[in-house]
Amino acid sequence: MRHSTHHGHVVALDVGGTTMKGGLVSATGQVLIAERRPTPRADGPLRVIEAIRAFTGELAAAGPGTPAGVGIAVPGLVTADTAVYSANIGWKDVPAADLTALPLPVRLGHDVRTGGLAESVLGAGRAERDFLFLPIGTGIAGAVVIAGEPYGGSSSRGGEIGHVPVFPAGERCACGQTGCLETYASAASVARRYTERLSRATSLHQPAATWDAYPAAQSPMAPETMTAEQVVDLAMRGDPDAAAVWDDALEALSIALASYTLLLDPAAIVIGGGLAEAGEALFEPLAERLTARLAFRTAPPLRRAALGVHAGMLGAALLGWQAAGVPDAGSTWTVDVLRSPSVP
Amino acid sequence: MRHSTHHGHVVALDVGGTTMKGGLVSATGQVLIAERRPTPRADGPLRVIEAIRAFTGELAAAGPGTPAGVGIAVPGLVTADTAVYSANIGWKDVPAADLTALPLPVRLGHDVRTGGLAESVLGAGRAERDFLFLPIGTGIAGAVVIAGEPYGGSSSRGGEIGHVPVFPAGERCACGQTGCLETYASAASVARRYTERLSRATSLHQPAATWDAYPAAQSPMAPETMTAEQVVDLAMRGDPDAAAVWDDALEALSIALASYTLLLDPAAIVIGGGLAEAGEALFEPLAERLTARLAFRTAPPLRRAALGVHAGMLGAALLGWQAAGVPDAGSTWTVDVLRSPSVP
């Protein structure tokens, strides 16, 4: 492996719907500065653009000298130089030059694919050329990594594994389609479906004479405030409603991952996002079900993502180095960002 | 586009489970010779290997001078220089040098991906970089074409769209999995499911008093001898059993293609194989259903494959030219093989 001889640092920014994660990352992968700010999404797209511009400027000013480039990961439809569309943020056709006032080369990337790039170059996909990066959070989207590069398809609209139809006659998804993976298996859906299931159970019990016997204290807290993590925890402890909801989520994931495996033959499936924190409760039964769904081929190994919430910002740093003319940046980094003291 | 200056021709062979299609193809895409022979599959893999060796030798001897290379498309698991495994033919780890006695550079390819290569370079995918080639015949497999190249995945096992689970709680497939696309939508399955449906209807009617009234002459021929084409034809003419079977096939295809579209964002879906002959009865309702399944993005256009049964042999010719050191062969060909008098 050739060591890059470039010095200096780049500005890296990961723009999420709630939080922006920014940093300065050196040519050897050192995270010089890392900072979070809220995304002012409720104030409209112009305010978000201003906030991005301010954040990149202030990060650059805080560093030791002039940065070599800027990388920014954004949601929605995006090319290397334009944030084409995001329903979430509400913008349309924003040129990269509007997202930073710095007179530096800039490169944009799709949020999930930029995270996939980081896992590919620096993280759990480092040893593989072909894998799926699947962050399971509030929603579900994937980065299809082919020959080390996240692949967006013919019009950058690929990777929507959260909306493949896993139960074709199933529940209506918020997206308007029927039976999408996301409507069963995202963290938000696991929490929502458990709550819905309990209220259905309650309304069934209400007219019955046994209402007083309904064990209202069965759950440790009111179901409206449950998180997916708490539902998984309840399922592990034998709560039948939580177990049924978690079972549906695992079944939906196994179907989508079986389809992915048969179509694209990945060397590994790297799972990140909040639900990956479920650990054994997710990985063990999911690996079992995926194996059971496949008759004539083995299942790829399921791995936990290595970079956690930092994947997007580190991927944006790689984009920044690409913009600066150092396309092989990252290949020699030994990032241990999860334990790095410079990242809060 | 740069015109290749290479002269001469290559030996091209497409080895199917039933038929081998061989030819000599010039550097400008002229099909000098085209010939079919049965694949002696029933006589075992050694006999098949001998038949391939004899066929390539006789094709080479029939041509005007020494060929520049050999391209061979085979089923199963295959790399550029080894036929690794085929359950269908029964071979294991056959080196390319065993498949021809000619002292020429040889390149092997997977049968469906080689057909996809031909459709990509010469056929219905010529204008696209990213598309799915989906031949629907006795079975179903796909070629995932990415940046103009068929993509086999991390271990050459990709493209198995025939075995993605479309109805996860559905019928058992011959492969051992449940609810595979192929078990509803291949030509063999459409024929089989219609026959099974009629025999179920018959056995249901048998004990009833109305048995004599059962319209045994409803179908133009005995159901055991029906082909998929005839089932589709019956469905178009309003036969309710044929319509139900064809409806399941279309539904299964729309689910698999929705998943493919959401994951890989193809610029087009190129459908070939025997069932593509169904024409409007396939393309119109399938396009409608695919559009209906997608809420937040448009459906890619469905196109009929351009090269018909010649795709594999023409793709093998491209492999032969690659082996001969002419990787850009085909880019300037104007093959009109379907109407070419030199192809029987």
> Are A13 and A52 within 8 A, CB to CB?
yes
Q: Which residues on chain B are in Cβ contact (under 8 Å) with A258?
A: 164-165
| CB-CB under 8 Å, A152 with B266 | no
The matching CATH number, chosen from 3.30.420.40, 2.60.120.10, 3.40.50.2300, 2.60.200.20, for B9-121+307-323 is: 3.30.420.40
Q: Over range A23-31, report the average pLDDT.
A: 94
Q: Which residues on chain A are in Cβ contact (under 8 Å) with B84?
A: none
Among the listed residues A160, A162, A158, A159, the one whose alpha carbon sits nearest the alpha carbon of residue A185? A162
Q: Over range B169-185, report the average pLDDT.
A: 96
Nearest to A258 among B165, B175, B258 (CB): B165
Residue A221: pLDDT band (50, 70, 90) is low
Nearest to A265 among B130, B158, B176 (CB): B158
| CB-CB under 8 Å, A265 with B154 | yes
- Alpha-carbon distance of B269 to B253, in angstroms, equals 12
Q: Over range B72-82, report the average pLDDT.
A: 96
Q: How far is CA A117 from CA A242, A321, B84, B245, B320, in A?
A: 34, 13, 32, 44, 35
Residue A204: pLDDT band (50, 70, 90) is low
Question: What's the pLDDT score for residue A6?
Answer: 62
Question: What's the pLDDT score for residue B2?
Answer: 43
* % of chain A exceeding 70 in pLDDT: 89
pLDDT single digits (tens) A263-282: 999 999 999 999 998 899 99
What is the DSSP secondary-structure string of B65-97?
Answer: S--S-EEEEESSEE-SSEEEEETTTTEEEEEHH
Sheet of A143-146, strand order: A149-151, A143-146, A131-135, A268-272, A302-304
- Alpha-carbon distance of A251 to A267, in angstroms, equals 21
ipTM of the complex: 0.91
Nearest to B265 among A152, A173, A262 (CB): A152
Residue B210: pLDDT band (50, 70, 90) is very low
Question: What's the pLDDT score for residue B200?
Answer: 86
Question: What's the pLDDT score for residue A219?
Answer: 45
Class of domain B131-305: alpha beta
Question: What's the pLDDT score for residue A336?
Answer: 56
Tally of CA atoms within 13 A in the half-sphere of B220 that contains its CB = 12
- Report the residue of B163, B166, B172, B269 to disrupt the A interface, i.e. the one with the largest count of A CBs within 10 Å: B163
Question: What's the pLDDT score for residue B221?
Answer: 52
State in Å, rounded, how far the first CA of chain B is from the last one. 31
B194 interfaces chain A, CB cutoff of 8 Å? no
Q: How far is CA B269 from CA A266, B73, B140, B305, in A?
A: 22, 22, 14, 9
Nearest to A166 among B161, B168, B300 (CB): B168
Q: Which residues on chain B are in Cβ contact (under 8 Å) with A178?
A: 293
Question: What's the pLDDT score for residue B224?
Answer: 62
- Return the top range by mean pLDDT from A3-7, A339-343, B95-99: B95-99
B263 interfaces chain A, CB cutoff of 8 Å? yes
Residue B6: pLDDT band (50, 70, 90) is low
| CB-CB under 8 Å, A129 with B262 | no
- Alpha-carbon distance of A339 to A270, in angstroms, equals 20
Cβ–Cβ contacts within 10 Å for residue A234, how many? 21
Residue B211: pLDDT band (50, 70, 90) is very low
Listed range (A201-205, A299-303, B122-126) with the worst mean pLDDT: A201-205
Residue A315: pLDDT band (50, 70, 90) is very high
The matching CATH number, chosen from 3.90.550.10, 3.40.50.10860, 1.20.1180.10, 3.30.420.40, for A136-304 is: 3.30.420.40
pLDDT at residue B219 is higher than 50? no
A168 interfaces chain B, CB cutoff of 8 Å? yes
> Are A120 and A133 within 8 A, CB to CB?
yes
Question: What's the pLDDT score for residue B222?
Answer: 55
Chain centroid, CA A38 distance in Å: 17
Q: Look at B215 and A311; give whichever has higher pLDDT.
A: A311
Residue A341: pLDDT band (50, 70, 90) is very low
Question: What's the pLDDT score for residue A222?
Answer: 55
Residue A200: pLDDT band (50, 70, 90) is confident
Torsion of CA A145, A148, A153, A158, to 10 degrees: 30
Question: What's the pLDDT score for residue B337?
Answer: 55
Q: Which residues on chain A are in Cβ contact (under 8 Å) with B300?
A: 154
For the domain bounded by A9-123+307-323, which CATH number is listed? 3.30.420.40
CA angle B131, B117, B32 (to 5 degrees): 140
Among the listed residues B170, B136, B86, the one whose alpha carbon sits nearest the alpha carbon of residue A296? B86
| CB-CB under 8 Å, B259 with A259 | yes
Q: Over range A158-187, report the average pLDDT.
A: 97
- Alpha-carbon distance of B202 to B218, in angstroms, equals 12
pLDDT single digits (tens) A246-269: 999 999 999 999 999 999 999 999
pLDDT at residue A2 is higher than 60? no
Q: Which residues on chain A are in Cβ contact (under 8 Å) with B155?
A: 265, 267
Q: Which two tokens stand for residue B162?
A: 């025939």
| CB-CB under 8 Å, B264 with A158 | yes
Question: What's the pLDDT score for residue B7?
Answer: 73
Q: Over range B309-319, report the average pLDDT.
A: 96
A151 interfaces chain B, CB cutoff of 8 Å? yes
| CB-CB under 8 Å, B146 with A151 | yes
Listed range (A204-213, B13-22, B236-245, B320-329) with the worst mean pLDDT: A204-213
Q: Over range B129-136, report the average pLDDT.
A: 98
pLDDT at residue B206 is higher than 70? no
CATH 3.30.420.40 region(s) of chain A?
9-123+307-323, 136-304
Shortest Cα–Cα distance, B100 to chain A (Å): 30
pLDDT single digits (tens) A76-86: 999 999 999 99
- Report the residue of A77, A145, A183, A263 to disrupt the B interface, i.e. the one with the largest count of B CBs within 10 Å: A263
Among the listed residues A82, A84, A69, the one whose alpha carbon sits nearest the alpha carbon of residue A13? A69
Buried b (16+ CB within 10 A) or exposed e, B127-143: ebebbbbbbbbbbbbbb
* % of chain B exceeding 70 in pLDDT: 89
Nearest to A176 among B128, B167, B296 (CB): B296
Q: Which residues pair with B270 in a beta bridge?
A: B133, B303
Nearest to A293 among B155, B165, B166 (CB): B165
A164 interfaces chain B, CB cutoff of 8 Å? yes
pLDDT at residue A220 is higher than 90? no
What 3-state class would DSSP assign to B256?
A: helix
- Give Cβ neighbours of residue B36 (< 8 Å, ≥ 6 apart): B19, B20, B21, B22, B344
* Residue of chain A nearest B142, judged by CA positions: A263
Q: Over range B286-309, report the average pLDDT.
A: 96
| CB-CB under 8 Å, B161 with A262 | yes
CATH 3.30.420.40 region(s) of chain B?
9-121+307-323, 131-305
Residue B142: pLDDT band (50, 70, 90) is very high
